[in-house]
């Protein structure tokens, strides 16, 4: 008995000590991935600053990162930047929620019920092929230069990635799962909630990610077509006065907010799709 106890006490520290190297290795791996992500843009910024500082590139055509940072600071101090950002984010969020919400709804209906596919899908596929810029003049004629036309233009872009990926996700569900559902006597609603949507979740999250990106791109088109507020208007106004550094500030904001939203969806994917055993590279 005493030998068993002594062996037990010897084994426990070994089990607990194995946790720390694994946690440390994961933190090191995470840090190295972040550093690798900054390697290319960091190298570009250093080279850009050196060439601009030596006068090899005109500051009017391509201001240095330092000049852009100073313009960024001035816009923050004046409060102009946050005012434009607040309006742009509200527009993008409104258009995204409207478009992606309808895309999820109709994608579910068309994917789950063949009669809806035969009725609605041909029309949606025709509308999907119409470019944003082709619809812009029509939206202005119908709704004017107000918020309605901008939000609808963003919603149009956000609708189709969510619609297509939801439809494909539902149609990609294994048929054997429906046979099991019939044996368990699931109703149509229970099939949708407990079987179809969880199985289609990877495609739905992909559609969510793509819809966010297209909504952000649609915001650029919407604000450049005629606006008195927003990041797009700030870029357009800076272009007219040849304030190239301010134009770059607007571009950086679009890129940064787009990256943040994309990272948020990727975080959701990691949390909601833990059960999926897939190749990670």
Q: What φ, ψ does residue 193 adopt, rounded to 5°?
A: -75, -45
94 contact partners, CB below 8 Å, separation of at least 6: 151, 154
What pLDDT score does 4 carry? 46
Alpha carbon distance 267, 260 (integer Å):
11
272 contact partners, CB below 8 Å, separation of at least 6: 201, 205
Long-range contacts of 118-126 (CB under 8 A, 24+ apart): 121/167, 124/160, 124/163
What pLDDT score does 2 carry? 46
pTM for the model stands at 0.75
Q: Nearest to residue 219, comparing CAs of 57, 88, 25?
A: 88
Alpha carbon distance 195, 170 (integer Å):
10
pLDDT tens digits, the chain, 281 residues: what are they? 444 444 444 444 444 444 455 656 666 666 776 777 778 778 888 888 888 888 787 777 888 888 899 999 999 998 888 988 999 999 999 999 999 999 999 998 998 888 988 999 999 999 888 887 788 888 888 888 788 888 998 999 899 999 999 999 888 887 777 777 777 777 777 777 777 778 888 899 999 999 998 888 888 888 877 777 888 888 888 888 888 899 999 999 988 888 888 888 888 888 877 766 554 55
Alpha carbon distance 241, 141 (integer Å):
29
* Element spanning 33, H or E: helix 19-53
Alpha carbon distance 91, 96 (integer Å):
8
Alpha carbon distance 102, 200 (integer Å):
17
Tell me the CB-side half-sphere exposure of residue 230, using CA atoms within 13 A.
25
How distant, in Å, are the alpha carbons of 87, 107, 151, 167, 217 from that of 100?
A: 20, 10, 12, 13, 14
Alpha carbon distance 106, 120 (integer Å):
9
* Element spanning 187, H or E: none
How is residue 72 written in tokens? 């960024």
What pLDDT score does 43 carry? 85
Q: Nearest to residue 84, comparing CAs of 94, 95, 76?
A: 76
């Amino acid at each position: 008995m005493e030998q068993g106890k002594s062996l037990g006490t010897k084994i426990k520290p070994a089990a607990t000590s194995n946790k720390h190297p694994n946690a440390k290795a994961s933190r090191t791996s995470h840090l190295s991935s972040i550093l690798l992500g900054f390697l290319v843009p960091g190298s570009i910024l250093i080279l850009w600053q050196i060439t601009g500082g030596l006068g090899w590139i005109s500051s009017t055509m391509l201001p240095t990162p330092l000049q852009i940072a100073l313009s960024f600071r001035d816009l923050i101090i004046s409060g102009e930047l946050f005012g434009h950002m607040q309006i742009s984010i509200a527009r993008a969020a409104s258009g995204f929620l409207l478009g992606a919400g309808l895309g999820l709804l109709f994608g579910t209906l068309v994917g789950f019920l063949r009669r809806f596919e035969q009725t609605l899908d041909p029309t949606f596929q025709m509308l999907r092929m119409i470019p944003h810029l082709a619809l812009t003049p029509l939206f202005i004629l119908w709704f004017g230069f107000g918020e309605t036309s901008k939000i609808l233009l963003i919603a149009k872009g956000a609708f189709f990635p969510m619609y297509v990926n939801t439809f494909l996700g539902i149609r990609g569900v294994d048929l054997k799962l429906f046979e099991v559902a019939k044996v368990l006597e699931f109703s149509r609603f229970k099939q949708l909630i407990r079987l179809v949507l969880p199985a289609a979740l990877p495609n739905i999250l992909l559609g969510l990610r793509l819809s966010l990106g297209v909504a952000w791109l649609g915001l650029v088109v919407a604000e450049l077509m005629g606006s008195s507020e927003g990041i797009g208007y700030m870029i357009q106004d800076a272009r007219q006065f040849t304030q190239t550094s301010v134009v770059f500030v607007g571009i950086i904001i679009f890129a940064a907010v787009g990256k943040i939203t994309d990272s948020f969806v990727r975080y959701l994917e990691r949390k909601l799709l833990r059960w999926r055993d897939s190749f990670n590279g």
